[in-house]
């Protein structure tokens, strides 16, 4: 049966303390116990439904986690203060000194920097591979490998991971397949395809209003409880906890995600087709020319499309910068990092979000200087947007 993530979110029902249609916000960092014994049991992890301290969990955070677990179809989830606050504890929880990670080489710059520069301080090492080359992925696995890490749709090159095949490799070698699904919420459901742990930066499409950072880890009860363990849980001990007020506001934004994702996808698909027809080197998973178009198609849930992210290559950084400045001047979007906003955002990843990746490695993975990454907005009239973008491009002799 087809997986329906938005239905799963909609089918949850919660009320506020006084019958409010939104759940009450738990505006407390600590919680009282009626008996000392219950406090002891809670510290021992044996008192279900009791709240202890807000770094551990809060009612508001649990509501948001429940909705995101419903979206991904996992047993449960833990929300965190940021996307990186979700990614780093997962890696630290699964790996100790001497362990090894096999990761896609085209991943979010912060994740890349963490694996490449930070994790080795704890003797956790990483082999970066072309995630679309399954033989290379398997060949990189060693006896100490614990994690196979990728993004469902990668940042910034929009490579698509064949999640079911990667899950089979992970299973064969007893690894955890960890998938960052930030670029493709609702469109792709990695846990349904065999991923063990699904991560999002809620900062992007899921919250959708560029007013906060946030993250989530979706997985089994066992793993999420491990992360929250007061003695050795990475979420509990590293401390990147989401605030309850934010959890409540993100939950409200999550309710319109299905509508927004569709509109982002329709707009991005329209522009990608036009740009490609104009002769621009365009990367969008919805285009038949995308190397993993068919894999995305086979994985995707109905109706949400291929997402709001696309890239074009305008030949040089100078041209990319000039175009982005002109588009901003014409109010076609903002020259800004991040994604999932109502307005189009654009940046040149080589000199911004992926600048953690050394120039040589950027070249090797196909990250060229003239690349512009677009997060296409919710524009009501995308034809008008296209015409105006085209005008900018002809003015600058890009077209």
Q: Which residue is nearest to ligand PLP (CB)?
A: 83
The least distance separating ligand PLP from the CB of residue 207, rounded to whole angstroms, comes to: 9
Cα 172 from Cα 166, distance rounded (Å): 10
Cα 175 from Cα 169, distance rounded (Å): 8
Instruction: Let me know how long the chain is.
Output: 399
The least distance separating ligand PLP from the CB of residue 84, rounded to whole angstroms, comes to: 4
Nearest CA to 197 among 235, 231, 230, 159?
A: 235
The least distance separating ligand PLP from the CB of residue 350, rounded to whole angstroms, comes to: 16
User: Based on CB atoms, which residue is closest to ligand PLP, 128 or 183?
Assistant: 183
- CA dist 39 → 30, 43, 62 (Å): 12, 6, 19
Q: Which two structure tokens, joined as six digits, stand for 50?
A: 């009791």
Residues lying near ligand PLP in the complex (CB under 6 A) are found at: 82-84, 108, 110-111, 151, 155, 180, 182-183, 201, 203-204, 213, 215
Residue whose pair of structure tokens reads 């621009």 in the numeric block: 280
User: Based on CB atoms, which residue is closest to ligand PLP, 79 or 312?
Assistant: 79
**β-pair type (334-335, 215-219):** unpaired
The least distance separating ligand PLP from the CB of residue 10, rounded to whole angstroms, comes to: 25
Q: Are 328 and 168 within 8 A, CB to CB?
A: no
User: Based on CB atoms, which residue is closest to ligand PLP, 52 or 94?
Assistant: 94
The least distance separating ligand PLP from the CB of residue 152, rounded to whole angstroms, comes to: 9
User: Based on CB atoms, which residue is closest to ligand PLP, 151 or 196?
Assistant: 151
The least distance separating ligand PLP from the CB of residue 87, rounded to whole angstroms, comes to: 6
The least distance separating ligand PLP from the CB of residue 356, rounded to whole angstroms, comes to: 12
Nearest CA to 79 among 196, 255, 188, 215?
A: 215
Cα 44 from Cα 229, distance rounded (Å): 9
User: Based on CB atoms, which residue is closest to ligand PLP, 261 or 393?
Assistant: 261
User: Based on CB atoms, which residue is closest to ligand PLP, 42 or 111?
Assistant: 111
Sheet-wide strand order for 125-129: 76-80, 215-219, 197-201, 176-180, 145-151, 100-104, 125-129
User: Based on CB atoms, which residue is closest to ligand PLP, 83 or 350?
Assistant: 83
């Amino acid at each position: 049966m087809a997986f329906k993530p938005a239905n799963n979110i909609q089918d949850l029902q919660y009320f506020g303390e006084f019958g409010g249609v939104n759940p009450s916000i738990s505006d407390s960092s600590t919680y009282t116990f009626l008996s000392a014994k219950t406090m002891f049991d809670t510290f021992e992890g044996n008192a279900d439904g009791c709240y202890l301290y807000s770094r551990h969990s809060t009612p508001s955070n649990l509501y948001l986690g429940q909705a995101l677990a419903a979206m991904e179809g996992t047993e449960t989830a833990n929300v965190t203060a940021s996307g990186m606050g979700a990614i780093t504890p997962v890696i630290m929880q699964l790996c100790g000194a001497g362990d090894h990670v096999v990761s896609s080489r085209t991943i979010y710059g912060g994740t890349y920097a963490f694996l490449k520069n930070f994790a080795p301080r704890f003797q956790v090492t990483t082999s970066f591979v072309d995630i679309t080359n399954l033989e290379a992925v398997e060949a990189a696995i060693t006896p100490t490998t614990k994690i196979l890490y990728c993004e469902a749709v990668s940042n910034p090159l929009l490579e698509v991971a064949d999640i079911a095949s990667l899950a089979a490799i992970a299973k064969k070698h007893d690894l955890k397949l960890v998938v960052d699904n930030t670029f493709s919420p609702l469109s792709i459901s990695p846990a349904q395809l065999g991923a063990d742990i699904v991560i999002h930066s809620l900062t992007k499409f899921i919250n959708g209003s560029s007013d906060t950072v946030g993250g989530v880890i979706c997985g089994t009860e066992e793993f999420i409880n491990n992360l929250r363990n007061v003695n050795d849980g990475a979420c509990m001990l590293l401390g990147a906890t989401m605030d309850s007020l934010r959890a409540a506001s993100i939950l409200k934004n999550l309710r319109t995600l299905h509508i927004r994702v569709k509109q982002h996808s329709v707009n991005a698909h329209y522009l990608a087709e036009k740009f490609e027809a104009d002769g621009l080197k365009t990367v969008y998973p919805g285009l038949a020319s995308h190397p993993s178009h068919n894999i995305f198609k086979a994985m995707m849930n109905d109706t949400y499309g291929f997402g709001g992210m696309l890239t074009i290559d305008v030949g040089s950084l100078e041209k990319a910068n000039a175009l982005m400045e002109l588009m901003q001047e014409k109010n076609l979007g903002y020259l800004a990092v991040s994604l999932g906003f109502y307005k189009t955002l654009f940046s040149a990843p080589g000199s911004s979000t992926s600048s953690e990746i050394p120039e040589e490695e950027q070249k090797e993975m196909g990250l060229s200087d003239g690349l512009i990454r677009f997060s296409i907005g919710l524009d009501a009239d995308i034809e008008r947007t296209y015409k105006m973008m085209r005008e900018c491009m002809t003015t600058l002799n890009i077209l």
